[in-house]
Amino acid sequence: MAPGNKAVGTERFVDQYQAFASNGAARAPAWLKRVREEALERFTALGFPTTRQEKWRFTNVKPITQHAFALARDAETLVPEQLDPYFLPIEGGARLVFVNGRFAESLSTVPEFAPGVKVQNLGAAVEESGKLVEEYLGRHSPVDDNPFTALNTAFAGDGAFIHVPANTVVDKPVQVLFFTTAGSEPIMSHPRNLVVVEQGASIQLVESYGGATGHPYLTNAVTEVSVGDNARADCYRIQREGDEAFHVATSNSRQGRDSWYSMTPVVFGGALARHDIWMALAGEGGEGTLNGLYIAGGNQHVDHNTVIEHAVPHCDSHEYFNGILDDRSHAVFNGRIIVRRGAQKTDSKQTNNNLLLSEDARADSQPQLEIYADDVRCTHGATLGPLDDNALFYLQSRGIGAEAGRALLTYGFGVEILNRVAVPEVRDCLDRLIKEQLRSGRGGTAP
């Protein structure tokens, strides 16, 4: 990287930060101001990544620096019905809504929870439970080497804060929606979610992202999930951003002993989508799953950069990413599995399968195993290619026409992840969205 290039494109974001720090963020507690300041410094030092950096080899973020993204000035007024398509039909569950990056209290509903459970805007949590937030914010998503995480941290304020005390079950999935409207100037938002599930507690979380079509905007989200000993966190992330949106995200988790964590990221939208995931298994007997799907068409670019870290012995991890790529879309999957020294009896399985429906679609898949223990089982496999002719013939030989057969095979590739979705409402919703997505021209048709 040429020296001096680092700060290219960052000035605008620094200006935005100055305005933010002297205005809305001015009454933040001292510790948070310090965290933000340090994050901004880190962001300017790192600069935006270039394709010369290994982790960003296939993803050029330059277009992000070419828009004059700004924080939304006023809270947008939306009627609740506009957001209905983004919610699962779950009666009585909590819904937090954020419009243009800001908490929209009037659109949110938070029911009565068991004592001690908190589901609220992070900003409110800073005031009410500052110590807890201070303890956890940035713990699993450090700002060291990811400029987008640093940028998000500089603007950290709004987002979901969820705290489930020990041995407490939140029995209805919590839904969190981030929606961006068509602004007079391109809007950016930096949602910051913090989820702390204490020992023996349990939560289901559905994060959704959506926004206006035909307008460029930037969503730069960070979600940190801390899963205590013997705790469970079942998380879903449905990305349905507008067609000109840039969506950059980091989802990091850390699990205690005998814990269970599952993360299902599903990507349908955005012009450019990059998701960094770091799943750390830090207590013996932990089990973690990444269960991803992306369906892309047009000129969409979808990049997943995942790390599964086995820090201790006797943990299982499963990683499945399926992709369906049409037109000139491009998918990148980088799946790194780290087995730390002494993390014996690790059992880790990774697959990344890409279905290419067009000759111009492209997938770059890179598994990366770093194993520093000798008694482990780690498998990985990646495939890419068009529909299987033999499978199509098999369907035809059962009376299913060629076109319907192609649709069925494509659909099957998409819904394969649903076998690992535990929440029926999420499964039904994703099934419907996958069909819609395929019918919209990506993959031609759906059964």
> Closest CB to other proteins among 307 and 387?
387
Q: Give the interface size with other proteins as a residue count (CB under 8 A).
A: 28
The yes or no reply on residue 22 touching other proteins (CB under 8 A) is no
> Closest CB to other proteins among 8 and 402?
402
Binder of other proteins out of 22, 66, 184, 390 (CB under 8 A)? 390
Distance (Å, whole) CA 40 – CA 27: 18
> Closest CB to other proteins among 155 and 294?
294
Binder of other proteins out of 76, 134, 416, 428 (CB under 8 A)? 416
Binder of other proteins out of 23, 394, 432, 440 (CB under 8 A)? 394
Binder of other proteins out of 5, 23, 396, 440 (CB under 8 A)? 396
The yes or no reply on residue 393 touching other proteins (CB under 8 A) is yes
**Cβ-proximal residues to 15 (8 Å cutoff; 6+ apart), any chain:** none
Distance (Å, whole) CA 185 – CA 183: 5
Q: Which stretch binds other proteins (CB under 8 A): 48-56, 246-254, 326-334, 391-399?
A: 391-399
Q: Which stretch binds other proteins (CB under 8 A): 88-96, 121-129, 145-153, 386-394?
A: 386-394
> Closest CB to other proteins among 116 and 401?
401
The yes or no reply on residue 160 touching other proteins (CB under 8 A) is no
The yes or no reply on residue 323 touching other proteins (CB under 8 A) is no
> Closest CB to other proteins among 183 and 405?
405
Shortest CB 421 distance to other proteins, Å: 12
Shortest CB 447 distance to other proteins, Å: 7
Residues 327-356 that bind other proteins (CB under 8 A): 353
> Closest CB to other proteins among 100 and 353?
353
Shortest CB 435 distance to other proteins, Å: 13
The yes or no reply on residue 444 touching other proteins (CB under 8 A) is no
The yes or no reply on residue 115 touching other proteins (CB under 8 A) is no
The yes or no reply on residue 379 touching other proteins (CB under 8 A) is no
Binder of other proteins out of 65, 404, 428, 435 (CB under 8 A)? 404
> Closest CB to other proteins among 104 and 355?
355
> Closest CB to other proteins among 110 and 391?
391
The yes or no reply on residue 387 touching other proteins (CB under 8 A) is no
Query: What's the 3-state SS for the chain?
Result: CCCCCCCCCCHHHHHHHHHHHHCCCCCCCHHHHHHHHHHHHHHHHHCCCCCCCHHHCCCCCHHHHCCCCEECCCCCCCCHHHHHHHCCCCCCCCEEEEECCEECHHHCECCCCCCCCEEEEHHHHHHHCHHHHHHHCCCCCCCCCCHHHHHHHHCCCCCEEEEECCCCECCCCEEEEEEECCCCCCEEECCEEEEEECCCCEEEEEEEEEECCCCCCEEEEEEEEEECCCCEEEEEEEEECCCCCEEEEEEEEEECCCCEEEEEEEECCCCEEEEEEEEEECCCCCEEEEEEEEEECCCCEEEEEEEEEECCCCCEEEEEEEEEECCCCEEEEEEEEEECCCCCCCEEEEEEEEEECCCCCEEEEEEEEEECCCCCEEEEEEEEECCCHHHHHHHHCCCCCHHHHHHHHHHHHHHHHHHHCCCHHHHHHHHHHHHHHHHCCCCCCCC
Contact 157, 123 (CB under 8 A): yes
The yes or no reply on residue 388 touching other proteins (CB under 8 A) is yes
Binder of other proteins out of 187, 206, 408, 426 (CB under 8 A)? 408
Q: Which stretch binds other proteins (CB under 8 A): 30-38, 250-258, 302-310, 384-392?
A: 384-392
Binder of other proteins out of 325, 414, 423, 430 (CB under 8 A)? 414
Contact 330, 301 (CB under 8 A): yes
Q: Which stretch binds other proteins (CB under 8 A): 4-12, 171-179, 209-217, 385-393?
A: 385-393
Distance (Å, whole) CA 100 – CA 181: 7
The yes or no reply on residue 382 touching other proteins (CB under 8 A) is no
The yes or no reply on residue 77 touching other proteins (CB under 8 A) is no
Distance (Å, whole) CA 225 – CA 258: 16
Distance (Å, whole) CA 236 – CA 354: 21
User: What residues line the site for other proteins (CB under 8 A)?
Assistant: 353, 388-391, 393-402, 404-405, 408-409, 411-416, 418-419, 447
